[in-house]
Amino acid sequence: MTTTIKDIAKRLDISHSTVSRALNGSSLIADSTAKRIRQTAEEMGYMHSAAARSLKTNRTQALGVIVSQVDDPFFGEILRGIEEVAQNNEYSIFMAASQHDPEKERRIVQSMREHRVDGVIICSASLSQAQSKQFTKYGIPIVVVNNQSAEDYRYSIYHDDVDGSRQVTRYLIGLGHQRIAYLGNSASGRTNWERISGFQQEMAVSNLAVPAEYIFGVPGGGPENGVKGVAYFLALEPRPTAIVCFNDMIAAGVLRGLQDAGISVPGQMSVTGFDNIVFSEFTSPPLTTLDQPKRFIGSEAAHLVLKLLDVKFQEETNQEPIVQILKGKLLIRQSCAPVNNLP
């Protein structure tokens, strides 16, 4: 049997309420008795029952984190940021992957409601509005990271994809490129639009034309789609001299495709990635990419939920939406070069 607060009380011939207070550091209890209690609690291997406690307090000290895929290295880093601040604030995390499956989403949301998580962080999972309402309806605060759906959430952390995409494009333009193509991921919503938009804005600033066929979308964010995309662009006439890719995975596929086609990077074609996932440094050539502060995004998201959970905050504030937009930084490596032969 696990030892309870009452066991300790009995052993010390004391009321269990005293034990409870002592263990929670109440100032009501005399130092001497508090000390004795803590000591025998230790001896008996006592451990709080989170269940019993949260039954009374309506707090579980647990956060729910919903991610679309755990094995996506991008989420891995965000998760790390979240986990770190959760841990530092004595919160545990419930993790679940939706895999873009509505039925799984339903079950995840249900399970998290049953466990009465104090708050929820949704990572790029395009969770349906209906599901997320299940939380807000019952007063469970939600923070959304890099929201993909068009729906608006009150509290969210974004990466500034427009700005990031502009940085990348500007760099390429600075290298003298004029025929720049964009390879997007149609399966991704808002993120993709904003990256396209940033690309177009920056091109427009420099009065560079973007023919419609220079913007292409592939149906996913994996490397295999980069291979597809590059095949498309190579068939174009005139051919672009640089390709801005939706993310690093796709860019890796593009590099592979170009190599197979015997086109040297960056000699004959410049390529950029996006996100700076861990291995983008080890493609060949190393990928010039936009370093998105993933871990920081995660930790900010966690800080935000915790803030929403803070009683002081709940009272004082007018409950205005909080949206935090973080900027990334261009990371220049070796996949881009100046155009040598202008058209």
DSSP per-residue codes, 273-301: -SB--GGGGGSSSPPBEEE--HHHHHHHH
The reply on whether position 110 binds a second copy by CB under 8 A is yes
Question: Using the rule CB under 8 A, is 55 a contact of a second copy?
Answer: yes
Cβ atoms of residues 195 and 159 within 8 Å: no
| Shortest Å, Cβ 137 to DNA | 16
| Nearer Cβ to DNA (55/205) | 55
Rounded to 5°, angle at Cα 80 from 79 and 86: 90
- The reply on whether position 16 binds a second copy by CB under 8 A is no
Phi, psi torsion values for 130, nearest 5 degrees: -55, -45
Sequence-distant (6+) residues with CB within 8 A of 282 are none
The footprint of DNA on this chain (CB under 7 A) covers a number of residues equal to 31
Query: Which partner in a second copy, DNA, none is near 89 (CB below 5 to 8 A by kind)?
Result: none
Site for a second copy in 214-233 (CB under 8 A): 223
DSSP string spanning 132-200?
Answer: HHHHHHTT--EEEES--SS---SEEEEE-HHHHHHHHHHHHHHTT--SEEEEEETTS-HHHHHHHHHHH
Within a 10 A sphere around the Cβ of 284, how many other Cβ atoms? 12
Taking CB under 7 A as the binding criterion, the range among 17-25, 86-94, 130-138, 151-159 that sits at the site for DNA is 17-25
Nearer to a second copy, 13 or 114 (CB): 114
Would you count residue 112 as binding a second copy (CB under 8 A)?
Answer: yes
- Chain centroid to Cα 217, Å, comes to 23
User: Is 282 a residue that touches a second copy (CB under 8 A)?
Assistant: yes
Stretch that binds a second copy, among 28-36, 72-80, 192-200, 303-311 (CB under 8 A): 72-80
- DSSP secondary structure string for all residues of 191-243: HHHHHHHHHHHHHHHTT----GGGEEEES-SSHHHHHHHHHHHHTSSSPPSEE
In the set 10, 35, 49, 102, which binds DNA (CB under 7 A)? 49
92 binds, among DNA, a second copy, none (CB under 5 to 8 A by kind): a second copy
Contacting residues toward a second copy, per CB under 8 A? 2, 45, 47-52, 54-55, 60, 62, 69-73, 76-77, 79-80, 83-84, 87, 90, 92-97, 104, 107-108, 110-116, 137-138, 223, 252-253, 255-256, 259, 278-279, 281-284, 286, 295
Contacting residues toward DNA, per CB under 7 A? 1-2, 4-6, 13-18, 20-21, 23-24, 28-34, 46-49, 52-53, 55-57
